[in-house]
Structure 1
Amino acid sequence: MIHLLQADTLTRETFWLIGPIGEAVFYYLAAVALLVFGALAYRRFARYAHGSEDPFARLDELGTRIVRAAKIVGSNEQQFNRDFVGGLMHAFIFWGFLTLFIGTTILAIDMDIYQKITAAFGTKQSFFEGAFYLSYSLVMDAMGLLFVVGLAVALYRRYITRNERLWDRHTGFEDAYLVWMLFLLGVGGYLVEGIRILGTGFPAFETVSFVGWFVADVFELAGMTEAMARSVYPVAWWSHAILAFVFIASIPLGKPFHMISSFANVVTRDEKAGVRLPRVPDDASPDEIGASDIDDFSWKQLLDHDACTKCGRCSSVCPAKASGRPLDPRNVILDLKQYRMDRDAGRTEEMPIIADGGTSVIDSETMDSCMACMACMDACPVDIEHVTQFTEMNRRLTESGQMKETVQEAMMNVFQNGNTFGDPERKRPDWVDDLDFEVPDAREQAVDYLWYVGDYPSYDERNQQIAKSLATLFHHADVSYGILYDDEQNDGNDIRRVGEEGLYEMLVEDNVALFEDCEFDHLVCTDPHSYNTFKNEYPEFGWNEDNEVEVSHYTQVVQELVPALGLIGTELDYTVTYHDPCHLGRFNDEYEAPRSLVRETGCELHEMPRNRANSFCCGGGGGGLWMDLEEETKPSEERLREALEDTDAGSAVEKFVVACPMCMTMYEDGRKTGGFEEEIEIVGLSELLAEAVTASGSTVTASDAGASSATPADD
């Protein structure tokens, strides 16, 4: 009779062989599991309220944020970054799990809402039959199979090939619990389905449940009869149900919570995180600056800690970790999380968040190691904002007088002389004396382009060649430009990132006053670090809030001047590779302008294996230029090795092209210490362009090229 009923109606009995009492127990356990889940999840989210207020808007335009987060999470686009197999694996798990959840919800709607409503009106009906049931069964079996396959790949990568980035000191029971529980739930569902199909005599329409049908065939081949299947089914069904309830109730207790916290983290992300840093409140006392207690972190930063999935993607791309410095961005986030949980549970005593030696959650050497390159944030699939938290800890070190001596010296140089070298301000424009043309003074005349030269191109002998070559390009293009001569001061980008917020704000005030005394339309920077802070951070302090002044890196400006420079793209015949500076590429998404200019010179460009957003930091950011840290291999040396061994051209690469003065300094040093002096030359992009302009043998004026050389006063 059961077989005939199912064949006639094309459906299945949800509580087959469970009975009314079993059904009541099921609903009771489901309610308990959901109540436990709700209470624990509420406690988890309520904990964030103990954190400080976040300085940036996180919940504005909430609808737009949720839609955008749904797209990011639903497409799994960030999981595919740098790891296609991992992305595919996660997509299978995510979409399989989501489909099974939706399928369970549909079944509950039919049984607990639709059937009861129709029964109240006299005729109990169900939409869980016929064509709907067949479609439902096919989709659930197909997506469930992807779910199990994805989890099998996860288990293989974790336990068979032992993917290195998945294992560290924070790897533990909760990691195994998540993946094994999901795998057992996925496989268990098919076992229950297979036993049901066998126990109901293989109804022909159940072939749409192709995985369950295959399992039923295997059971039958193994000797299980229909009667045996009917006897075993309740045990299998209850085992699967109880396992599901335990998992649901336990989600807020450990790693499974990332399924909720990660989505919340993507919803509340700041798209400019790290690119611009949060300000210190005006009324903050020295003891309140930086993170000294776990609740000094904002509620969003506490959410960051809980969103971490321990995937190790941030660790695998961190140049500090790769060089042997004592920094693993994942462990910093997880150390903070573990300390919070242990302190809340009374398992540990209160201690400083960061200190130089002694007992603290994070050691100062760890934060000194950070290059502020943002590779960790770019690689993170759940938008954890590492750099902003690292900055908060650096600020605490600074305010408590625990800054490295060499960094303190650089800060004092800036405070006294306006530059990190400590040289007199009057020497800043000395490099112009070697040119055979005049460099205009933007303090004395209106210009189209105010050129902010920067510390290294002004004072460092090697980088002065960058300044001279760029001046040559502006001169050849006959553009209206000028510099600030000895009034120019350090921009403050890296000073801010080592935690010296007070000095940074002083520089902002001085530089803004200087800019406002000049008449210009366009601010152009030699250094991507200057470009970043002028463009993204100075507006937070009231300058250029409405973008009335265009801020550019020199490569973006020179790209527009190519017609005026007379380049024909065939002058030079070098085999080169190009290094993407972090502050130009990863921070500000400028990848094409430098490459376009390299091609304009006629050079044969070969890409580095790690390029664009995946570029590997030179080691100079975040104050790295002012520190002498122990390293197994300098990032600059590793990068040069990569250029000569891993590019398509290999050892045929003649020139390593950079577009950042800090990169120039780091790579010239790495060239010496790494023994690459005879193998490769470090060259600034502006130097390459100036050589190409000279090689072209023509000086094309702006008027010849159809470009305007008028100053704002002429307009």
Structure 2
Amino acid sequence: MNAIAQSEVSRETYLGLGGVEYVLFYFLVAVTLAVFAYGVYRRFSRYTEGDDDPFARVDGLLSRTVNAAKIVITNEKQFNRDLYGGLMHSFILWGFLTLLIATSIIAVEQYGTELLLGLTFWEGDFYLTYQFIVDAMGLLFVVGIGMALYRRYWVQNHRLWGRHTSNEDDIFIWTLFGLGIGGFLLEGFRIYISGMPSHEVVSFVGYGLAMAFDAVGLPTTGAVLEGGALNPDYAAVDQLGFNAETLHWLTWWSHSLLALFFIAWIPHAGKPFHMLSSFANVVTRDEKAGRRLPNVPSDLDATNAESIDDFTWKEILDQDACTKCGRCSSVCPAKASNRPLDPRDVILDLRKYREELEAGGEEKPIIADGGTSVINTETMESCMACMACMDACPVEIEHLQSFTRLNRQMTDQGDVAPSMQDVFQNVMQNGNTFGDSPRNRGDWSEGLEFDVPDAREETVDYLWYVGDFPSYDERNKQVARSLATILKEADVSFGILFDDEKYDGNDIRRVGEELLYVELAGHHVETWEDCEFDKIVCTDPHSYNTFKNEYPEVNFDEFADDPMMPFEYDEQWNEDGEIEVYHWTQAVEELVREGKLELSGTELDYTVTYHDPCHLGRYNDEYEAPRELIRATGCELDEMPRNRDNSFCCGGGGGGLWMDFEEEPKPSEERIREALEDTDNGPGVEKFVVACPMCMTMYEDGRKTGGYEDEIEIVDVAELIVEAIGAEEEANLEVAAD
């Protein structure tokens, strides 16, 4: 080899680069940074044109940024249910950030400490450590990209492909791959033409490539002198020859131009821009997203989604943060049931329409029946508001906020399904979704061996909100009687509101009927103000969520003077959380723990599985209370593969219980199949346990339509407890299977 070995423990940054090329490179750098800065400015200026977001998004910005950095650096969301994807993204992210920091270190050393202060630190031990870390993390980066290419093109993971898949996705991944491979090739050529100095062995990937070049006898010209300078006798025309110096020169410019292209491209395309927008999205996330929805103003002229300008800046940021990864699509029960909803497509459809408008495209309805709108009404009717999409999203997109905006627009336009219109009418006229008389609301308690107290007439510890289905649905009345018996056995004071109780409003709000929800909320808080109680206990997780997270958010003063509103309450209810709101399993588990309800744990010997209700689990992170109660009855709990935050929705949320879909299979049928086929005990599972009246209704239906009537029984946790304490007769229960 003719090259002269490099003696310093350092290296020449611009090895083999002539003066004109040096100037040209920095001209291109300046242009690239200008294009990048303009693109970022244009992107973020668009957010300022979005509507104001109702929730605080930048309060405690330092704390938000630190927490977001932790989420992003650890890749905790990417590891959720996908070890391969988590490792892949971690390798890419950590490698990319290391290479970015490494480049920044060179810039600081050359144009900061060395140029201004005459000091250099990029040598000796620091240089050796630097080179080792860069090679190690760069290798991880290439491995991560390789894993991504394997999953996308070889395995062809189904969730990575959809109608929004485009050349942009290919350019993004192959550009990163080119940068990673090009960097190592450049390093290998540099080490080889520098005489393979012994200290460069720390650059183990590059050194290994240099050894390979040496093994194949790659020719050199001796063009590089000691110290890294270009030999003046080396004519430019000689660079056209096939030798290491030529390959180094070509690789240097190819790598540099590809890097400059990528930087300039970042803010001008959706896929690469996620590197900035997704972090901003995590910083500005709402910790209660989904479990609480934005309130609507009392101004009747306010619009929801008549145009793209109605969307808030955070909802626009959500659109830009989407990476098309399809995690939301893969967990969506509506999509799994072949309903016309793909959460990813809704977000990306809105983004595409916005970009078309910005490019001079024609306006069209955001949501309507037919093919001329951005989103079809049937698409949004399919949403079950289960929040699985939000839980799975690695960049904290708040799908449900945008979906609710679309649903509210549908309601304003009168585009709601006739079955939902009937539900709205029932609630307006009778205060319940069944359309039954309010006077019959307490009839479920008839037949109990004790009287259920009236919370309007006496002081109680627990104000029990029974809910629509336990009050009017025959199957769920058994659950209500079971819970009443449990509370009686525990010797706690409780009472109900009888005909002053109305529907809680949770699901009609998610369907888009916001003003009716406000009416119901105002009625309840005004009624509660006249009662004496310590805690509110709910049978239904949907009621639990809306009382705990949403009623305290309503500004009742804004509506109190409205003659259409049936309340005069003008305060913020429970703003400081002084009134505790419980799901009944939490309250009863507490009673068991305190010894007020005896469950020895040896009474029942059923093998059961448990379904986590969305509004109790994903919405409010309560997974253990129902399980503790099931175990306390002596049952053997056999978990389904999809449990806790990965639970599969029953199909009843978001108005799904009141709509008719031609779907195959129904979510409830799929879930029962999972219980009987995918659990450890399989067909040995005797009872499918629920803790939600809507789940009870959906699974009783799924048991019949799916042909599982003889294979499994649907029971509520409360019914197990009543059986365990031997109080079935007191509760006047029928056989649950009937």
TM-score, scaled relative to structure 1: 0.95
CA-based RMSD of the aligned residues comes to 1.5
Q: Does 1:585 align with 2:585?
A: no
Aligned-residue offset at 1:698: 13
CA contact (8 A) 2:5 2:196 kept: no
Determine the structure 2 residue equivalent to 1:93: 92
Whether 1:325 and 2:339 are equivalent positions in the alignment is yes
In the alignment, is the contact (CA less than 8 A) between 1:566 and 1:696 conserved in 2?
A: no
Aligned pairs for 1:601-612 (under 5 A) are 601-612=633-644
1:629 correspondence with 2:661: yes
Q: Deviations over 1:571-621 (max 9, x none)?
A: 001000000000000000000100000000000001110000000000000
Instruction: State the shift of 1:218 in Å.
Output: 2.0
Residue 467 of structure 2 corresponds to residue 454 of structure 1:
yes
CA distance in 1, matches of 2:624, 2:74: 26
Q: C-alpha offsets along residues 203-244 of structure 1, whole Å, 9 cap, x if unaligned? A: 111100000011112222333123321232212111111111
1:229 paired with 2:244, answer yes
1:113 maps to: 112
Q: Deviations over 1:152-183 (max 9, x none)?
A: 00000000000000000100111111110000
AA in 2 matched with 1:464: K
Secondary structure in structure 1 of the residue aligned to 2:79? coil
2:578 counterpart of 1:565: no
| Map 1:166-185 → 2, pairs under 5 A | 166-185=160-179
Note if contact 1:431-1:458 (Cα within 8 Å) is conserved in structure 2. yes
Q: Work out the CA distance in 1 between the residues paired with 2:2 and 2:528.
A: 85
CA distance in 2, matches of 1:697, 1:358: 57
Q: CA deviation at 1:696?
A: 11
Deviates more, 1:617-626 or 1:562-571: 562-571
Contact 2:449–2:730 (8 Å) recurs in 1? no
Aligned with 2:293 (options 277, 296, 305):
277
Question: How far 1:430 moved relative to its partner?
Answer: 0.5
Q: Deviations over 1:316-350 (max 9, x none)?
A: 0000000000000000000000011011102x310
* Counterparts of residues 296-695 of structure 1 (less than 5 Å): 296-346=310-360, 348-541=361-554, 542-562=572-592, 563-694=595-726
Q: Aligned letter for 2:247?
A: V
| Paired residue secondary structure (2:720) | helix
- Equivalent-residue separation in structure 2 for 1:652 and 1:293 (angstroms): 54
Equivalent position amino acid for 2:34 in 1 = L
Once the 2 structures are TM-superposed, how far is the Cα of residue 558 of structure 1 from its aligned partner?
A: 0.4
Deviation string 1:655-706 (CA, Å, 9 cap, x unpaired) is 000000000000000000000000000000001111111179999xxxxxxx
Q: Distance in 1 between matches of 2:473 and 2:281?
A: 43
Q: 2:261 aligns with which of 246, 249, 253?
A: 246
- 1:253-285 deviations in whole A, cap 9, x for unaligned? 111000000000000011111100000012242
The amino acid across from 1:154 in the alignment is A
The answer on whether the counterparts of 1:579 and 1:657 sit within 8 Å (CA) in structure 2 is yes
Q: Show CA shifts across 1:16-46 (max 9, x none).
A: 1103322222221111111110001110111
The answer on whether the counterparts of 2:6 and 2:195 sit within 8 Å (CA) in structure 1 is no
Secondary structure of the 2:726 match is: helix
Q: Which amino acid aligns with 2:33?
A: L
Aligned amino acid, residue 497 of structure 1: R
Q: Secondary structure at the match of 1:182?
A: helix
Contact 2:722 2:728 in 1 (8 A): no
1:70 maps to which residue?
Answer: 69
Aligned to 2:29: 30
What is the one-letter code of the residue matched to 2:162? Answer: D
**Distance in 2 of aligned mates of 1:260 and 1:85:** 23
% identity of equivalent residues:
65
State how far apart, in whole Å, the 1-side matches of 2:2 and 2:244 are: 15
On the 8 A contact 2:485/2:730 being kept in 1, the answer is no
Does the C-alpha gap of structure 1 residues 618 and 11 become closer, same or farther in structure 2, counting only changes over 3 Å? same
SS at 2:272 equivalent: helix
Q: Is the CA contact 2:609–2:640 (under 8 Å) kept in the aligned structure 1?
A: yes
Contact 2:5 2:197 in 1 (8 A): no
2:185 to 169, 182, 191: 191
> CA offsets, 1:45-83, max 9 Å, x none?
111122111111111110111001000001000000111
Q: Cα 1:411–1:162, aligned 2, differ >3 Å: closer, same or farther?
A: same
Q: Could you say which residue in structure 2 is the equivalent of 1:712?
A: none
Contact persistence 2:4–2:195 (CA under 8 A): no
2:227 corresponding residue in structure 1: none
Shift of 1:4: 7.2
| 2:547 counterpart letter in structure 1 | F
Structure 2 unaligned regions, length at least 5: 222-242, 555-571, 732-738
2:154 paired residue number: 160
The CA deviation at 1:470 is 0.1
Task: Return the alpha-carbon distance in structure 1 between the equivalents of residues 649 and 598 of structure 2.
Answer: 33
- Please give the secondary structure, in 2, of the residue aligned with 1:91: helix
SS at match of 1:325: coil
Instruction: Give 3-state SS (helix, strand or coil) of 2:689's partner.
Output: strand
Query: Do 1:463 and 1:661's aligned partners in 2 also have CA atoms closer than 8 Å?
Result: yes
The 8 Å contact of residues 566 and 698 in structure 1, kept in 2 or not, is answered as no
Distance 2:246 2:335 in 1: 57
The alpha carbon displacement at 1:637 in A equals 0.1
Asked if 2 retains the 8 angstrom alpha-carbon contact of 1:570 and 1:601, the reply is yes
Number of aligned positions between the proteins:
690
Q: Are the equivalent residues in 1 in contact too, given 2:164–2:348 (CA < 8 A)?
A: yes
For 2:309, the aligned partner's letter is D
Residue aligning to 1:257: 273
2:303 aligned partner: 289
Instruction: Give the match for residue 231 of structure 2.
Output: none
Counterpart AA for 2:310: D
Query: What's the secondary structure of 2:460's corresponding residue?
Result: coil
What is the distance in 2 between the residues matched to 1:284 and 1:75?
45
SS at match of 1:694: coil
Looking at structure 2, the residues matched to 627 and 403 of structure 1 have their Cα atoms a distance apart, in angstroms, of 10
Counterparts of 1:358 and 1:260 in 2: how far apart (Å)?
34
Does structure 1 conserve the Cα–Cα contact (< 8 Å) formed by 2:366 and 2:373?
Answer: yes
CA offset at residue 5 of structure 1? 7.5
Partner Cα distance (2:268, 2:712) in 1? 54
Once residues 447 and 125 of structure 2 are traced to their aligned partners in structure 1, the CA distance between those partners, rounded to angstroms, is: 84
Runs of 4+ in 1 over 4 A off after TM superposition: 1-5, 695-699
The alignment partner of 2:463 has SS state of strand
Distance 2:525 2:173 in 1: 54
- Secondary structure of the residue aligned to 2:299 is coil
Distance in 2, matches of 1:239 and 1:357, equals 49
| Secondary structure class of the residue paired with 2:94 | helix
What does 1:32-71 align with in structure 2 at a 5 Å threshold?
32-71=31-70
CA distance in 2, matches of 1:260, 1:241: 22
